[in-house]
Amino acid sequence: MHSAAAFRERTSGISMTIEEKVAKTLAELGAADAQGVESAFAELRRAAEHERAELIARGASDEGERDRVCKSLRDRWLARKGGLLSLADEHWLKSASKGIKPVAGRQFNEFRRFAACLEFENLIEAVPLQQAAERQMELSLSPEIVRPTPRDLTLPGFCRPAGSIHPISRMRREIEDIFLNLGFRIETGPEIETTYYNFDALNIPESHPSRDDWDTLYIDSKTLLRTHTSPVQIRAMEKYGAPVYIITPGKCYRRDNPDSTHSPMFHQIEGLAIDTDITFADLKGTLDFFAKKLFGEKVRTRFQPSFFPFTEPSGEVAVSCFVCDGKGCRVCKESGWIELMGCGMVNPQVLRNGGIDPGKYSGWAFGLGVDRFAMVKYDISDIQLFFQGDMRFLEQF
């Protein structure tokens, strides 16, 4: 059943059997980099999966035969001496060159975990030979429609590696939790936005540089990929009126060339609070509380004057470096402070544009970059890492 010729036949385009491959070193197989090593291990795994499925479909005519074929497949893969797993250990891992050793080590451990879950024993029920032959036919005709029937349905299946929360989602949730506890609600808006909501309603005049073709990704002259989450401010005012307390997480887009701190797609969270008697003190108090919750009770916040067309007055918020406590280090670039976000009191014209009477109500708003927050908090130096899907990076979260 597991003859070299049979395996060769199954794996069209691959000239060597799996046992011939594990008898060679990775270098001899031409696996000279991470990708080569990964595909060698992927092939090993596919072979094991295939043989397991084949065994299930084959069945056995009685318990004796069943035990025998299950054991022989188990030994073929897992026997301490001469099993394919230990041969891979011997020839692929132990003799791997320095350059590929780390990746070979990781791949081998992953394969070993996978192999430990194969559960070769007790895999099949003893089925009459006729039925077994039929199953075999099915398998060879169309392997993908075979539904293996383990003898005991409570047996564990294949182990799939557990995923984890993406660092951006994790940062977003941390921020959301703080504001949800303060009574804010989460509001979202469209990523394809009109120039009205993205610019005009926010008091951003025709002449503003952010409206330029070189800064904004337009779909047509009136439609664009939103450049910030601020348009949700107007949408929320229209939807709920006042009072309103919201945060608005979401993706934003700008015409930026990707580098270690820029990405044409990034994430923001906007905050908006509108009520009677809201003052700058409320803004300062809330953002100070937020910074302490996120970065630790020790941090202090600093507000500096700034300008945004949709807030008046406007500010930039920085937090004292939570790593060096403001003394100066690599994380805060020796300044002692980490710039966090823009904020300000909602411009009365913006309230009016949202249908709210600035004579009765006032409000504050802020906008922060989730990607930047995650980079600062988790000490990540390159924003591109978030979007490359590299398991070695993602596994750390």
Q: Which of residues 167-226 bind ligand PHE (CB under 6 A)?
A: none
* From candidates 18, 270, 283, 295, binder to ligand PHE by CB under 6 A: 270
Least distance between ligand PHE and beta carbon 265 (Å):
14
Identity of the residue, 195 or 230, whose beta carbon is nearer to ligand PHE in the bound complex: 230
Identity of the residue, 17 or 230, whose beta carbon is nearer to ligand PHE in the bound complex: 230
Burial class (CB in 10 A: 0-12, 13-18, 19+), 256: middle
Structure tokens at 188: 């979202």
Least distance between ligand PHE and beta carbon 274 (Å):
13
Residue 219 and residue 214: Cα distance in Å, rounded?
Answer: 13
Identity of the residue, 295 or 364, whose beta carbon is nearer to ligand PHE in the bound complex: 364
Structure tokens at 157: 């299946």
According to DSSP, the β-strands at 185-186 and 244-253 are parallel
Identity of the residue, 189 or 326, whose beta carbon is nearer to ligand PHE in the bound complex: 189
Residue 195 and residue 204: Cα distance in Å, rounded?
Answer: 10
Q: Which stretch binds ligand PHE (CB under 6 A): 67-75, 157-165, 214-222, 340-348?
A: 340-348
List Cα–Cα distances, 168 to 109, 190, 193, 374, in angstroms. Answer: 28, 19, 23, 6
Residue 358 and residue 361: Cα distance in Å, rounded?
Answer: 5
Identity of the residue, 107 or 203, whose beta carbon is nearer to ligand PHE in the bound complex: 203
Q: Which of residues 310-339 bind ligand PHE (CB under 6 A)?
A: 311
Q: Minimal CA–CA distance to 353: which of 196, 205, 245, 243?
A: 196
* From candidates 342, 362, 375, 376, binder to ligand PHE by CB under 6 A: 342
Q: Which stretch binds ligand PHE (CB under 6 A): 78-86, 161-169, 172-180, 361-369?
A: 361-369
Q: How many residues bind ligand PHE (CB under 6 A)?
A: 11
Residue 312 and residue 273: Cα distance in Å, rounded?
Answer: 14
Identity of the residue, 130 or 304, whose beta carbon is nearer to ligand PHE in the bound complex: 304
Q: Which of residues 228-257 bind ligand PHE (CB under 6 A)?
A: 228, 230
Question: What end-to-end distance do the CA atoms of the chain give, in Å?
Answer: 43
Q: What residues make contact with ligand PHE under the rule CB under 6 A?
A: 228, 230, 270, 308, 311, 342-344, 365-367
